[in-house]
Structure formats: C-alpha cells, structure tokens
Amino acid sequence: MKKDPSSNFASRVERLHKRLSPLFPNIDPHDLEMILTSLLRRPRERMQMMFLKKRKDGRYVF
C-alpha cells in the first residue's frame, strides 16, 4: 500500500530529529522539531504562512 505523503514527511522529521537531537542538547526538542519541519519544506510551502495580517478592526490574523 502506498504511504500517505504527510506520513512520509512526518517520519522524515522524526528520523532526523532522532539523529540530530544528540548534536543539539541546548535546543528544546519541540523547537528542533519545528525547525526541522520548516527546513524540510520547499520555499513555496514556506510562503503559505508568513505574515500576521492586520485587519481594519485592529486585530491580527494569520
């Protein structure tokens, strides 16, 4: 059965996290996961959520 691409991506992050976490004991494990998730995305995907937008009522939205 073909694996779901999101599950492949998650496994890749998990594998790299296991391999790299001993090299970065000072980085919080959750931060390391966020960093890896972000680094493994393509630039086009990184552009999907960059800005906090200010609405006319003064509130910010993603």
Partner 1 sequence: MSFDANFLAELLEALSTSGLEVVLIGNAAAILHGVPVMTQDVDLMVRDHPRLEEKLKQFAKAFGVRLTRPYEPTSQVIRATGRPVMVDFVRTLSSRESFASIRSRAIRVRVGNKMAWVASLDDVIAAKEAAGRPKDNATLEILRETRSVRNALKNKNTKNRE
Residue among 11 and 41 whose Cβ is closer to partner 1: 41
Distances 62 to 8, 24, 52 between C-alpha atoms, Å: 26, 30, 5
Q: Report d(CA 13, CA 8) in Å as an integer.
A: 9
CB-nearer residue toward partner 1: 8 or 38: 38
Please report, as residue ranges, which positions from 20 to 39 form the binding site for partner 1 (by CB under 8 A).
20, 23-24, 27, 31-32, 34-39
- Point out which residues bind partner 1 (CB under 8 A): 16, 19-20, 23-24, 27, 31-32, 34-41, 43-44, 46-55, 60, 62
